[in-house]
Structure 1
Amino acid sequence: MTNKDTEIRTQIRIPKSVHTWLADRAKQNDRSMNAELVRILRERMEAEKQAKDAA
């Protein structure tokens, strides 16, 4: 399985303050900005799933 099978490439526009915050978090966690953003989104997805399952 290649990345083309499991990933898509996209562009987003974010406020400069969000970009700065994300860049700082990525640097602190020794990750790329992409990896940090994916981690944050996955955590949020899991939290929402758990809240839905608990309801």
Structure 2
Amino acid sequence: MPTNTTPVASQIRLPADLMDWLKARAQANFRTMNSEMVAILTQMRSADISEAARQ
């Protein structure tokens, strides 16, 4: 699957508790919050692709 790695600016709204969780997780992984979101979403996308391949 081709991947376009050109960054696109985006703005999201998160509930305060989710933002706090993301911030803590990013700090624990020595990442920015943006990098942490990218890591989480990339991992979830990979899992979805793997699951689709098994079906």
Q: How many residues align?
A: 51
| Separation in structure 2 between the aligned mates of residue 6 and residue 28 of structure 1, nearest angstrom | 27
Identity, % of aligned pairs? 35
Taking the TM superposition and a 5 Å limit, the aligned residue runs for 1:1-55 are 6-55=6-55
Cα-Cα RMSD: 1.0
Unaligned runs of 5+ in 2: none
Bigger share in helix: 1
Unaligned runs of 5+ in 1: none
Deviation at 1:41, TM superposition (A): 0.2
TM-score, normalisation: structure 1:
0.89
1:20 aligned partner, one-letter code: D
Deviation at 1:7, TM superposition (A): 1.0
TM-score, normalisation: structure 2:
0.89
Cα deviation digits, residues 24-53 of structure 1 (max 9, x gap): 000000000000000000000000000000
